[in-house]
Amino acid sequence: INGFITAANILYIVFGAILLLYTLKQTGAFDSINNGFASISEDRRVQVVLLVFLMGSFIESAAGFGTPAAIVGPLLVGLGFPPLAAVVIALTGNLMAITFGAVGTPLIIGMIDIFEGVETISSEVLGAGNFESIAAWVGEIAVFAAMHHVIVGIALPFIGVAMMTRFFGEEKSIKPALEVLPLTLFAWASFSVPYFLTAYFLGPEFPGLLGSMVGLAVTVTALKAGLFHPDEEWDFAPESSWPDHWIGDIEPGESTNDNVTVAADGGSVQSSMPASAGQMSLLKAWTPYALVALLLVVTRVADPVKAFITSDLFVVGWSNILGTGLGNDFAFLYLPGAVFIAVHLVTIPIHGMDSKEIKASWAETVEKVGPAVVALLFAVATVQIMLQSGAATGADSMLIVLSEGMASIAGSAYPFFAAYVGAFGAFLAGSNTVSDILFGTFQYGVADQIGTPKTIMLGAQAVGGAIGNLIAVHNVVAALAVVGLVGEEGRVIRLELIPLVYYGTATGILTLLFSYVLFPGVF
């Protein structure tokens, strides 16, 4: 029951986030946003930096749960990218944002809610750790996760471009990617500075959201000012020379949105959308997400507002479930799902949605979220069983026993593998949140056994959960399906192993360095 309540919290956030996403697709707001980016440059390398790294990170931060690849992939195909290339690149680019996806859900639900329910951990954190709350401790975990990402992620935009030019370019070389290295570094810096500062000062909800918004604004401004454009535009070879497995049911240059067709050269756009949607200004298109950011800040920072919406009147709770001493609650106005649904309702008149568009946005959301319900309910419930196993007899839980075994095998070298363990969880579950739920307590136990900082170990777990999304099977299948490709899962996963090994290994080295050299005194 406790696990089902936690799963309901996750599903509420996911449903609201995806509902708003599909609302903006129906109104044409996303087409306006992305056509605005496409008009800045027809160079495919620049488009990857803008649409995949920055816009993909924004979508991940706002909605999470595999939506960036499912949205950005079709947009790239509409601009004339080979569908296979679009999927590979779209899965790679938003990695830094996944840890803080869906306004911090992996850390808020995956760690705060879980650790608050484990008496041995919560008492140690509040006692020996000297933190005022589990949330305050997870805020510090968020800082170390962001620190890992900022350092390792310096190469992320470049990797996305390099994979495109190496595997899908006529030259089969990373040399064209080196020509936009200054742009990739500038975009990384524009994203990373607000990203890290937000994690440090505001906690886990806003780093990806504010980092991507500021990064987009700064990078687009620089490009419009004539900075960082390569001397010569780069494009794919003619479509006639592409291998058959690059293309599926949807031809490049054809949008997967029924309302819009984008020229294969990345240029002019012809739309069959209603005039109100087709002519939507960028300001109007961005308004819903600006409202999301504003409402999230107000409900988290303004104490009177926060106290009101978290009062007993708006929280459904169950304490001492079936006499076990366990408890959980559902704060239906405080959870980000409420903000997303409220903004969806406000967007209806702002964007002039008709009943058909409203019904379509809800139907698409149910179709997207529906398959995850049963899996998530039982996955989280299973973890709760593992967490509480042994409680009745006073024995250690299953995860503590596993932690002791892993600590005895890997010993002091274990921090190197922490991110890979998180990646394995995300590979199995297709979710950073579920990976944190599955392995957060396990990582805590290993850190306790070998005497390394638990905060740093869990920061590595949070990063690892993001890495695993690169090869999560259902994420790959969904990304391929929306661009009309079937049966290329193995090829995509093999290519995604390149950024996975880089990111996992670099994170492992950093975790060792943080644990034993730079921050050994951290809790």
Residue with token string 């293309």: 247
Q: Quick: pLDDT tens for 68-79.
A: 887 788 788 878
Q: Which domain holds residue 482?
A: 2-518
pLDDT of residue 83: 92
Q: pTM higher than 0.85 for the full model?
A: no
pLDDT of residue 314: 84
Q: Quick: pLDDT tens for 90-138.
A: 999 999 999 999 889 899 989 998 898 888 899 999 998 889 999 999 9
- Joined together, the tokens standing for residue 226 give 């004539």
Q: Quick: pLDDT tens for 315-339.
A: 887 877 776 666 777 888 888 788 8
Please indicate, yes or no, if residue 102 is contained in any of the structural domains: yes
Please indicate, yes or no, if residue 57 is contained in any of the structural domains: yes
34 pLDDT above the threshold of 80: no
Please state the domain count of the chain. 1
Q: Quick: pLDDT tens for 410-423.
A: 889 999 999 999 99
Quote the CA–CA distance of 156 and 92 in Å, as a whole number: 8
What are the residues whose beta carbons fall under 8 Å from the beta carbon of 205, sequence distance 6 or more?
100, 103, 104, 108, 296, 300, 336
Identify whether the C-beta of residue 26 lies closer than 8 Å to the C-beta of residue 361: yes
pLDDT of residue 275: 38
Query: With the CA atoms of 297, 11, 286 and 213 taken in that order, what torsion angle do they form, in degrees rounded to the nearest 10?
Result: 60
Residue 330, strand partner residues: 316
Please indicate, yes or no, if residue 489 is contained in any of the structural domains: yes
Question: φ, ψ for residue 461 (rounded to 5)?
Answer: -60, -45
pLDDT of residue 504: 97
Estimate to the nearest angstrom the gap between the alpha carbon of 439 and the chain centroid: 18
Please indicate, yes or no, if residue 261 is contained in any of the structural domains: yes
Query: How many C-beta atoms lie closer than 10 Å to residue 40's C-beta?
Result: 15
- Joined together, the tokens standing for residue 296 give 């999230």
Q: Quick: pLDDT tens for 155-198.
A: 999 999 999 999 999 999 999 999 999 999 999 999 999 999 99
SS3 assignment, position 266: coil
Quote the CA–CA distance of 264 and 255 in Å, as a whole number: 10
Mean per-residue pLDDT over the chain, rounded: 86
Amino acid identity, position 58: F
Quote the CA–CA distance of 444 and 438 in Å, as a whole number: 12
276 pLDDT above the threshold of 60: no
pLDDT of residue 261: 39
- Joined together, the tokens standing for residue 22 give 């599909």
208 pLDDT above the threshold of 90: yes
Identify whether the C-beta of residue 37 lies closer than 8 Å to the C-beta of residue 140: no
Quote the CA–CA distance of 114 and 382 in Å, as a whole number: 13
Please indicate, yes or no, if residue 15 is contained in any of the structural domains: yes
Estimate to the nearest angstrom the gap between the alpha carbon of 227 and the chain centroid: 29
Q: Quick: pLDDT tens for 429-472.
A: 778 998 998 889 989 999 998 999 999 999 999 999 999 999 98
Of 145 and 269, the one with more pLDDT: 145
Please indicate, yes or no, if residue 523 is contained in any of the structural domains: no
What are the residues whose beta carbons fall under 8 Å from the beta carbon of 125, sequence distance 6 or more?
115, 131, 134, 137, 523
Quote the CA–CA distance of 26 and 510 in Å, as a whole number: 43
